[in-house]
Structure 1
Amino acid sequence: MLRGLAHGAAWTLATSTAVALSWFGVHTVLTGTVDDPPRALPLSTAPSPPPRTSSTSRPRPPAPGTSAAVPSGGGPSGTASAGTGPQQPPGTARPVPNAAGATGDVHSYPVSGGRVVLDLGPAAASFVSATPDTGWSTRVWKQPGWIRVDFTSGLHTSSVFCTWNGHSPTVQTYGT
């Protein structure tokens, strides 16, 4: 009887030690990961003019003797700009200051399940937002040197990885 109690106590001690070590190991790895809610970019309060062109037709060339200048109130996507610089075509990056005050290029990465927006600087990147599609959920990991965003729905997962450990930021997408 005493021998059975000694074996049971040894087993309980060994199992408790293994569980505690596992918990501390997982806790240490996950300490820096945060699932922040997505941040929204500020929208202009000025009303947007209707689009001047459609995606299936080109604008007419200007008549001879007239100027082909871009109007100052409307950008190519129909949003108003407050004189923040030259207009750029849709899908290109636009320099904006990030939380640290540095200026980088904001890029959007569409994948199955949603869209990720990152601010890519010359030596680092910052997470701007992740917008999941209907029925998908988002998980974000941020560490010094990398950012990972996953969109999951059931057994399907799409990911966006951004790394900059000793090099300029590079982005890889999986599940597009």
Structure 2
Amino acid sequence: MPIVEVHILSGYDAEAKRRLGEALTDAVRFVVPAPPEAVTVMIHEMPGEHYYRGRTQRSGAPALADPKEIVRSYLLAMERRDIDTAQEMLGDGFVMQFPGTAPMSKLSELIEWAAPRYRSVTKTYEGFDAMQSSSDAAIVYARGTLSGVWPDGTDFEGIRFIDRFELIGGLITQQDVWNDIAEVRAST
């Protein structure tokens, strides 16, 4: 039974500590073959007045926002065509790559490119998976199925998709999309 102990400065809320406990459990399970209930995580809080670095008293940094929730909010804003809200979630140098087209950097380019492909599309999510890359980027995968309406007014559903996002500093900097929409459309 793996036991992980971590010391943090006091001030993090229960949600941040829950996320930290889950992330440490997942990190252990990535190496040690243990079910989640066999991994014990102990979080010890230290008062900030007892923490010094470089002879200076320091306080803890605020918890990062959950990258899965940022991606979920972005995708919901895009589905609602709330472009202003979605745009606020994008970082400098944002680039997105969809099947069958060159990389795009503006949401307006995506909307223009998608217009002849379908009238509307919605996503049903099977899950979101997040991890930290070896760089500063958080990686989030969203997976599930697409449904919607083709340009001729016929409905479609059950088309597989995977979206991969990179986030730096809580902002989306890259989106890569894979789906079977072209193959399904060609067969109808």
Bin the TM-score by the shorter chain: under 0.3
Structure with greater Cα Rg? 1
Higher helix share: 2
Q: Say which structure is richer in strand.
A: 2
TM-score by length of 1: 0.23
